[in-house]
Amino acid sequence: MKLRLGTRKSLMATTQSQQVADRLTALTGRTVELVGITTLGDVSKAQLSQLGGTGVFVSELRTHLIEGDIDFAVHSLKDLPTAADPQITIAAIRLRDDPRDALVGAVKLADLAPGARVGTGSPRRIAQLRALRADLEYVPIRGNADTRIGKVTAGELDGVVLAAAGLARLGRDGEIAQLFDTDEMLPAPGQGALAVECLTGRPDLVELLSALDDARTRAAVTAERAVLAALEAGCSAPVGAYAADDGHTLNLTATVVAIDGARAVRKSASGPRTAAMDLGRELAVAMIAQGAGTLMGAH
C-alpha cells in the first residue's frame, strides 16, 4: 500500500518532500505518493509575522494528518511551532543541510552601496543585518524563492536573504553572493533541517519513518528550539540559535537582537548531546537574566 506524503504545493516544498520520499523508499522499500495541499501561508499576501508566524504553513498539513487524508508530512523544521501537539510525533529529523543564511545578488553585503535595498521577510534576519549594515534599506517581502530572486534580477532589489539549504535544494546555490557565517548571523532554530511527522497513534509508522532520523541533527535542533521555547517567542521573534556538534559535545550559541539592530544579547554554552533540551533552556534563562526579554519587546 502506498504511503501518502502531504506537502505544500510550492516548488521548494515538493522538492524537499520528494527527496524524503525517495530516501524512505530506498531505505524501506515502501512506495510514497505526494499529496499537494494549499495552506493559508501560501495564498495570503500578508507578512508572516501578521499571520501568526510560520506555523500557518504547518497547521493545515497537521489537520489533514489528523483527518486521515495523508499518512505523514514533511516540514522545514524552522516552521514548526515549539509547543508539542500530543496527537503528532516528529518521527524523524533528517541530516541537516547548510544551516546558514545566504545573500543572493551581485555583491557581498559589505560591498553594497549605502541605501541599497535588501529584501527579507524575517525580523531575525533584518535585526542582524541592521547590526552589520545599518545604512541599508531592508524591505519586507513574501513569495517563493523564485519570486524573491526575481526581484533582484528585475532590479527592484539589490539583494535578498534566504536560507542556503533551500537554495541548494532548488539548485539555485550558484546565485549566492555571500554565505553568512554564524558569528555574523545566527540562523533560525532548526534552519536547514527537515522534520517528518505522523500521528502519534500509528506506532508502526513512527517506527518506519524513524529510519530517516539523524541523531546528531536531532540533538542540535532540540537545543536550539529549547532556547526559542524558553524565550516564549513565536517563530517571527528576532531569535537566532545554532548548535554545533563536535562529536561529543553540543556548542550552542543564541542571540536576541532588537529589531533596529542596535542592541543584542548573545550567549554560548556547551553540554552533552544527551542533555540538549536542558542546555537550551539554561542558556535562555541566562539570556533573560541579561535582558533578552526587554529586547524581544522592541518590535
Helix (H) or strand (E) holding 213: none
Q: Which residues is 221 bridged to in the sheet? A: none
Which is catalytic among the residues 22, 42, 79, 246? Answer: 79
Chain centre distance of CA 139: 20
Q: How big is the CA angle at 172 (ends 47 and 74), to the nearest 5 degrees? A: 60
Please give the backbone phi and psi of residue 265, each rounded to the nearest 5 degrees, phi first: -115, 120
End-to-end alpha carbon distance in the chain: 50
What distance in Å separates the CA atoms of residue 51 and residue 43, rounded to the nearest whole number? 11
Cα separation, 126 vs 121, in Å, equals 8
Residue 98 contacts residue 168 (beta carbons within 8 Å): yes
Q: Are 249 and 271 in contact (CB under 8 A)?
A: yes
Active site residue 79: yes
Query: Catalytic site residues?
Result: 79
